[in-house]
Amino acid sequence: MDHDPTFFDALRTLDSSAVSDVLDGLGLPGRVLATGLRPVGTKARCAGRAVCARVVRKPPSAAPASGGYFAAIDAALRPGCLLVLQAPPDGAVLGGLMAREFQRLGAAGVLTDGRVRDAAELRTLDLPVIAAGTSARNGAREMQVDSVGQAITLPGEAQPVTIENGDFIVADEDGIVAIPARIAELVVDATLHLAEIEHRIAIEMDAGRSRLEAMRLHDRFAHLGPLRARLKLDA
């Protein structure tokens, strides 16, 4: 499904905590990724459509990949997309030069459950990189691309999270949430509405009301019940 530019503008404004609340309210919990996946540097906020890829350990007899290690992934990236990479924990899956190429191709960020390196260089780029950690060792020599454009699974807070190619990712200082593509517009609209309600609650509290009084006046999740029922009807 194609989305107009206003959808992506709105997506980039969302907070991961609010998106998580909306998904919970819609009956889709368990979409928050593990807290061990953290930004390398200070750039935590990013959002975009997922380009999913998986790399695996390379058999000892495997020949070098034609066109370079990440050629198939480079070819799949489009401006505004977010590379979501499932990788083994065997050294760094990517470093500064790869990240520079992803930035040149217009990627909105990189999210991987593998490790990365060249952390000091990554901090100088405009490309947010979120990973399971860092490693000085070049693990990429021992890896090969297994799939591009197919579903992958990353560790989640409560359970593994399956991410389909074309799903949407929202990441910030609080964490990372994966939004299924089929309900992305509904989730974005519902999250914007939740943000408006919470803003009204904050105004009431700044005026002297208690949190409970303000929340009685403005029900944060009342709009989610009808949406949840609609999803069940559409299922």
Residues 6+ apart with CB under 8 A from 97: 118
- CA–CA distance, 49 with 40 (Å, rounded to integer): 20
Selected residue with higher pLDDT from 232 and 95 = 95
Q: b/e map of 80-92 (b: 16 or more CB within 10 Å)?
A: ebbbbbbbbebbb
Residue with tokens 């198939």: 72
pLDDT of 41 above 90: no
Taking each helix axis from N to C terminus, what angle separates 16-25 and 184-206, rounded to the nearest 10 degrees?
Answer: 110
The rounded distance, in Å, linking the Cα atoms of 104 and 184 is 27
CA distance 106 to 53: 17
Question: How are strands ordered across the β-sheet holding 115-116?
Answer: 92-94, 115-116, 133-134
Q: What is the pLDDT of residues 130-147, one digit of tens each?
A: 999 999 999 988 899 999
pLDDT in tens, 211-228: 999 999 999 999 998 888
Q: What is the mean pLDDT of the chain?
A: 93
Cα dihedral 87, 93, 94, 95 sign: positive
Q: Across residues 65-94, what is the average pLDDT?
A: 88
Per-residue confidence (pLDDT) for residue 44, from 0 to 100:
92
| Res. 69: pLDDT tops 80 | no
For 19, how many CA atoms within 13 A lie in the half-sphere containing its CB? Answer: 29
Percent of residues, the chain, with pLDDT higher than 70: 95
The answer on pLDDT for 1 being more than 90 is: no
Tens-digit pLDDT profile for residues 156-199: 998 999 999 999 999 999 999 999 999 999 999 999 999 999 99
| DSSP reduced 3-state for 130 | strand
pLDDT on residue 198: 95
DSSP 133-166: EE-SSBGGGGEEEEEESS-EEE-BSSS-EEE-TT
What band does 80 get if pLDDT is binned at 50, 70 and 90? Answer: very high
Q: How far apart are CA 66 and CA 48, in angstroms?
A: 29
The pLDDT-based confidence of 24 (bands split at 50, 70, 90) is: very high
| Contact criterion met (CB below 8 Å) for 119 and 40 | yes
Q: What is the pLDDT of residue 65?
A: 53
Q: Among 62, 108, 116, which Cα is nearest to 87's?
A: 116
What pLDDT is stored for residue 74 in this prediction?
93
Spatial distance between the Cα atoms of 151 and 32, rounded to a whole number of angstroms = 16
pTM of the model: 0.93
pLDDT recorded at residue 2: 78
Give me the pLDDT at residue 130, please: 98
pLDDT at 233 over 70: no
Amino acid at 178: A
